[in-house]
Chains A and B, each alone.
Chain A
Amino acid sequence: MSLVTDVWFQLLRHLRMQLRMRMWIVVSLIQPIIWLVLFTQVFTSLSTLPDLEGVSYLQFFAPGVIVMTVMFGSAWAGMGLLHDMDMGILDKMMATPVTRLSILLARVMASMIVLLVQAMVILGIAVIMGVYVTTGLPGLLVMVILVSLLGLGFAAFSSGVAMYVKRSEPLVGVVNFIALPTVFLSSAMMPPNLLPEWLDTMRRFNPLDYAVTGVRDLVLNGWVWPDLLSSLGVLSVWAMMGTIFGMIMFRYKLQ
């Protein structure tokens, strides 16, 4: 069971580090609020569109903001790993008997925990602004699972890329290249029916979209089981693929 304790002690380290960076906490909580307020203001006239069926754009967009926050946050997980690499912390750790998988998992889980707190804050604010969660508390639990799986995958892929490129500049490039298109190739901002056909096809290959539709169903439409199960399935595979990729890159570093 050394994997569990190894993850636990590193998780403590990462969370402690995050908590000690006060400025960072403030910024990361304010940023999604800005998203929420700003976007709903800009797109306010969209609620008159027939496909939103009387749902306010805030109601429609809040799930998107939650998922986007988790995705953007976790896509940067590799930066922390690069910091450890530059400081010699990673090499020092790798020369100890610590399980290799725990180094990756602890990082990924730390960013998950932080992002889930963020997501909950956003949801809380959305509720205050008038969003109603149809499925209530059980729905909230499933939402947590959905965004965690999404974030796990992104964080693991990001860590894997960091291991491969070994420098922050290319990682920044990769994340910037991936992040925004991933959002636009999904129904995060626009109802699926209003997307051009090719985009509507593309989004089915986009893990982010499965998280967005899953969370949105739970907020707006209740328990739509076939969609929900397919979202859970796809996101589980995504998370697993990320972890495997991350581990392969850890091995690669040993070469």
Chain B
Amino acid sequence: MNAILVDKLTKVFPGGIVAVDSVDFDVRVGEIFGFLGPNGAGKTTTIKMLNTLIRPTSGTAIISGYDIRKNAAGVRRRIGYVGQNVGVDEYATAWENLVLYGHFYRLDRSTLKQRMNELLDLVDLAGHEHRMVSTYSGGMRKRLDIAMGLIHWPDVVFLDEPTVGLDPQTRAHIWDYIRALARFLNVTIFLTTHYMDEADQLSDRIAIIDNGKIIAVGTPDELKKSISGDVVILSPCSAREEDCQGFIEKSRQSLADRSYVVAMQAMERDLAVYVTEGETALPDIVRRLNQDGIEVRTIAFSRPSLDDVFLRYTGKIIRDQEGVPTTYADIQRRRNKRKS
């Protein structure tokens, strides 16, 4: 059963800019679907089309059984939209904001009151509901924003960059709320973000969009495996060993015929082995090297992060490196650069 079914959805803006180019994907009921892409990739345009805020040039999407082109009113009744900007009224209290939205969805007074108390508890704003929103912190505003999108028991909630501009601690909190929504309210969540860790942490499945096209869809694990599996870093050299490169070269030859090896890259004192699956490759690598008389001093394997997946799929690293496979060192360097 699909919560969202997107069929050749296309948006061409005046001036011929193709923001979204014949995009197809589906979102299953109850899953958190991460929609990932660099800025300007077409994320927000897609979400705005799905939310009936702009009209597609061609193609369409079915949300909860309603066609976004033919039955926008039906779609609006079944979705909750939490946009990139916090769409709450600062000159009102949380309570007043929620009441207004309750009326937009034609909820009767007692149902609305009950639902509001439920949601205020869920997003931890109970006790603050009669304060002016202008006195709220950024995180509180975002939580209210999310609660407003949930007032009518929507089937699908769209969260467009829900943590942009929030500090790391608040981000982590918002993630908890999003997980709680999926778990307790059983809603389908469509999440756009350009934070890899956010998508990785929250999503059941991810679609990557670049230049208006979907370039990969899958679970975070599938996507990571799809780019060469895991990377095993081993060192055959002890600290005082002189001929380190010799041992590395020997190791390389010894492993060359293994079917799980995708690529290898020698480093100063280590050998990076790209393998299809680290769990099964690791014991075999150790056994094989021992048979050939090479002592493995250290060995570790890591999964590529979604960052690496993203960079690989959007082509940026490959283009930078001119076809040379991404090395462990490259990945580390990139990580360090990001941290600093």
Contact = CB atoms under 8 A, between A and B. Distances in A.
**Is B a genuine binding partner of A?**
yes
Interface of A: 2, 5-6, 9-10, 13, 16-17, 20-21, 86-98, 254-255
Contact of A95 (B53, B85, B90, B106): B53
B81 A97 contact: no
12 contacts: A2-B106, A13-B92, A92-B148, A93-B104, A95-B52, A95-B53, A95-B76, A95-B83, A96-B104, A97-B76, A97-B77, A254-B54
A44 to B, nearest CB: 42
B218 interface: no
B11 to A, nearest CB: 10
Residue of A87, A94, A95, A254 with most chain B CB atoms under a 10 A cut-off: A95
Interface stretch (B95-103, B198-206, B324-332): B95-103
B89 A89 contact: yes
B88 interface: yes
Contacts of B88: 87, 89
Given A13-B100, A17-B92, A96-B104, A91 B87 contact: yes
B300 interface: no
B52 A86 contact: no
B55 interface: yes
A90 B89 CA distance: 10
Interface in B166-190: none
Contacts of A20: 91
Residue of A2, A96, A255 with most chain B CB atoms under a 10 A cut-off: A96
B130 to A, nearest CB: 13
Contacts of A2: 106
Nearest to B78: A97
Nearest to A98: B104
Given A89-B87, A255-B54, 12 more contacts: A16-B92, A21-B91, A87-B86, A90-B87, A92-B83, A92-B145, A92-B148, A95-B76, A95-B79, A96-B76, A97-B77, A97-B105
A38 to B, nearest CB: 32
A10 B87 CA distance: 15
A87 B80 CA distance: 17
A94 B53 contact: yes
Residue of B51, B100, B148, B158 with most chain A CB atoms under a 10 A cut-off: B100
Contacts of B48: 91
Contacts of A13: 89, 92, 96, 100
A137 B54 CA distance: 49
A254 B55 contact: yes
B311 interface: no
A249 to B, nearest CB: 15
A95 B89 contact: no
A95 B81 contact: yes
B103 A95 contact: no
B96 A16 contact: yes
